[in-house]
Each structure stands twice: as C-alpha cells, then as structure tokens.
Amino acid sequence: MPTPGYTPREVAAVSGVKLSAVQKAITARKIPARKDRRTHRRRLDATALLALALVRSLPAELHLTAHDAYRLLKRAQEAGEPSMISIGELVRIDTGKALADVRRRMALYERARERIVSDPEIMGGTPTIRGTRITAQSVLGRIAAGDTIESILEDYPYLDRETVEAAAVYASANPPRGRPAGKPWRHVS
C-alpha cells in the first residue's frame, strides 16, 4: 500500500515549484504538513500540492499566498465546487484550467507509485519499472539528454507512453541518494 501524501521533494517535482519554496512554506506554516510515524518524514496532502502549484501558475499581479490558496481550495472542495475558487466578489479562478497539467502529473505520479518497484534482487534495489530491468532514472536521463518519448517507446515497445512519463516523474521526485559511484574528480580536466 503506498504511503498517503507527498514528501516535499515529491511536491516540488510534481508541482514544478522549487524545493526550497516548498520547504519554506512548510517551515513558515503556510501549508500544513504532518509527520509520517513510520518514516519520520514530513508529508503534505494533495490540496497542499495543488495550492503551491496554483500560486506558481497565477500572474505576478495577483498576489496569493500558499496559505490563502490552500484555504480557498479546501473551502471549494467542501462546497462541492473544486473547479472554481472565488476571491471576494470580483475574482474567480478556474482551477480546472489553472491546475490541469499538475493534476495530470499527480495522476502520473500515482501510477508510478504502482508501477515503479524497488527490489534488492533486481538492479541492486534501484527503482525499476515493474516486470522490467528499466530503471526510472535511466528513463529520466534519456529525456533530459534530449531523447523523445517516442524514441524510448521504439527501444521498449512493450511500454506505453504513460508508463514512460510516469517513470520520468517518479525519477525526478526520487533522485538517487548518496554519493556518486567511483571518483568523478578523475574525469575533470
């Protein structure tokens, strides 16, 4: 069963907000975070992720804090109208349009939580796509190097587009931990 909520790094990767901004919002208590009892890591709910993404997507002239965005999104969900929020009588924000891309990335990330596995017997525990030896980090590396999703699908015809996109989102949210292997300073001229 996947852990509910998102870590700050996952929120940053899915929402497009800088990790430092997410950490600052948590520390300043602009958005609520709870501590996971098992891992002792801070977790944010989906509304917090959407609130940070909403603040990022708004024009600079419209000043909305993460706390206010969170409060407005919660109120809209409780009222049963999650696709529209109102600020006073004059300003209405269509969150359906403003957050469509982030909601899509959230769905991809949820799929990745199901499809990406980490088994010590497969690739030394590196997160891989279930049923393959393709690491999520290698998919992200290829995309970052300029490969298209279509070229990746040509190399791995048994994968679908959504799985490749989900693996890339997962890898950006869960970078490898620790020091790089070998002695990278030897290759520097």
Name the pTM for this structure. Answer: 0.80
Q: How far apart are CA 118 and CA 171, in angstroms?
A: 12
Q: pLDDT by residue (tens digit) across 83-131? A: 778 777 778 888 888 888 999 999 999 999 889 998 888 888 889 999 8
Domains of the chain in start order, with CATH, are 8-98 (no CATH), 114-173 (1.10.10.10)
Residue 44's pLDDT is 92
d(CA 25, CA 20): 9
Tokens linked to 1: 């069963």
Ranges of the chain with pLDDT below 70: 1-3, 180-189
Per-residue model confidence (pLDDT) at position 94: 84
In this predicted structure, what is the pLDDT of residue 180?
66
pLDDT at 1: 41
Residue 174 is given by DSSP the state S
What does the pLDDT read at residue 43? 92
